[in-house]
Amino acid sequence: MDLHGYNALILSDLHLGAETSHAREATRVLKENRFQRLILLGDIFADLNFARLTKEHWKFLGYIRKLSNPKRNIEVVWVEGNHDHGLTNIMSHLVGVRVYQHYAWQYAGLRHIAIHGHQFDGFQVNNLRFSRLGTSLYLQLQKLDFKSKPIARLIDRLNTRWLRMSSKVSAGALHYARQHGADRIFCGHTHEAVHVAQDGIHYYNSGGWVDSRLTYLTVDEQGVRIHEYTERADDRDSSQERGEADSSFADFADESGLLEDVEYEGVVS
């Protein structure tokens, strides 16, 4: 990492609104790292129901808006996922970032592409309603898990093999990268952080923030690295604060600096 931080920090599948979303931990990662570009690689929301957002979820969004302030000189990019569909106009005004289907950039002489990955999941594309039902069930089961988390481990395996089709996503992404002349391609969607190399093209998946393993990616002069968040003593389930919804938007405004930086205008797509 150079003096200006990582060229890019990439995270995905936070699923804000789900009780299993680790928004507090994700916010901590953003606060503890320096980066020139932040890529939110899709499915940052679980669905379009903002009433499900907790205080910690609003704090995450507030911090994203703070980062997007031009004074910070950080490029914040939101790549739309299948759960984010329909949020483009809302998010561009709410947190001041542009939303893309496909985002590309050049770094260290290499072409990089970020795309959520559901486009390569044949089950997702052809069975959209059933797939969303499966994801909802998956998130609900996690809430009922026991201390040893046998259910989470089971559905993690089923989720990858059946619903998410991780191998198909990686194969589709590599083919997409080849068609678009990319050296590296980054996806989310599968909740499984992996690296696959094929014929000089590298596929990376950023993992997710609702499972037992919380991961994100960084890009710098040393290459691409998969990071795993380590749980800390003061981490706690943000769902405990679900009853504090009345003050959530005020917390968002305070966290984002809206109350202090009134001259800042959001990005209009």
| pLDDT tens-digit profile, the chain (269 residues) | 555 699 999 999 999 998 899 999 999 999 999 999 999 999 999 887 888 899 999 999 999 999 999 999 999 999 999 888 777 667 777 888 988 999 999 999 999 999 999 999 865 544 444 455 555 665 565 556 555 555 555 555 555 454 546 888 999 999 999 999 999 999 999 999 999 999 999 999 999 999 889 999 999 999 999 999 988 777 655 444 544 554 555 555 565 555 444 333 333 33
**Contact between 196 and 203 (Cβ < 8 Å):** yes
Output the pLDDT for position 154: 58
Direct distance between the N- and C-terminal alpha carbons of the chain, in angstroms, rounded to an integer:
31
Output the pLDDT for position 46: 87
Q: What span, in angstroms and rounded, lies between the C-alpha atoms of 45 and 17? A: 6
Using DSSP, state whether 215 is helix, strand or coil: strand
238-251 burial code (b ≥16 CB/10 A, e <16): bbebbeebeebeeb
**Contact between 54 and 238 (Cβ < 8 Å):** yes
Output the pLDDT for position 162: 47
Among 83, 81, 79, 78, smallest CA distance to 94 is for 78
Tokens in use for 60?
Answer: 């995450």
Integer angstrom CA distances of residue 269 from 88, 92, 93, 114, 206: 8, 6, 9, 19, 26
Alpha carbons within 13 A on the beta-carbon side of 159 = 24
Q: What span, in angstroms and rounded, lies between the C-alpha atoms of 148 and 160? A: 20
Residue extents of the structural domains in the chain: 8-256
- Give the CATH H-level superfamily of domain 8-256: Metallo-dependent phosphatases (3.60.21.10)
The pair phi, psi for residue 33, each rounded to 5°, is: -125, 155
Q: Enter the pTM of the model.
A: 0.80
Q: What span, in angstroms and rounded, lies between the C-alpha atoms of 87 and 98? A: 11
**Contact between 151 and 141 (Cβ < 8 Å):** yes
Output the pLDDT for position 133: 58
